Amino acid sequence: MAAGVVRDIMTKQIVMIDHDKSALEAAGIMAEKGISSVFVVRNGDPVGIVSERDFIKKICAKELPIAQVKIGDIMSKILTTADPEMPIEVAVQRMVNHKIRRLPIMEDGKLVGIITVTDLARHLRTTLLLEGALSDFSNIDDVFTTMDQDDKH
């Protein structure tokens, strides 16, 4: 992967929901905005993240009533974060080490963005295209179109 820092590829539009809101409210926000995760906050501070996977494993698989489940009860706690000036390679290693698909980006104690595996794949694609390593544009574009539909931020 080419040199660069997290700020170069992070998604700056982040969506947050208070920890005491219902999972139904969070699902509605995610559907409305076409995103696959939301940050959970308590008193304005990020304390967790909820993804579509959390809904499936922690609500649907257990047949819980989504309107009665608090989002704070199904969130995944934030295990690690990155700084916007962190090298991309270091952020990737952090995600691998913690086995996470989404990495919150913090600056001066404030949540300023997120990096997802989709962001990293796009960055890799751009790097490979610039280096001339990819020649079959149509096939790779199909892959990223599918990723965009399946894993929007």
pLDDT score of 146: 55
Q: Show the DSSP H helices in the chain as ranges.
A: 6-9, 23-33, 52-55, 71-74, 88-98, 117-130, 137-150
Q: How confident is the model at residue 144 (pLDDT cuts 50, 70, 90)?
A: low
Domains of the chain with CATH codes: 6-150 (3.10.580.10)
The whole-chain average pLDDT of the chain stands at: 88
Q: What is the pLDDT of residue 1?
A: 46
Q: Is this structure's pTM higher than 0.95?
A: no
**Long-range contacts from 101-107, C-beta under 8 angstroms, 24+ separation:** 101/51, 102/37, 102/49, 102/51, 104/39, 104/46, 104/49, 104/78, 105/6, 105/7, 105/10, 105/81, 106/46, 106/81, 106/82, 107/83
pLDDT in tens, 28-78: 999 999 999 999 999 989 999 999 999 999 999 999 999 999 999 999 999
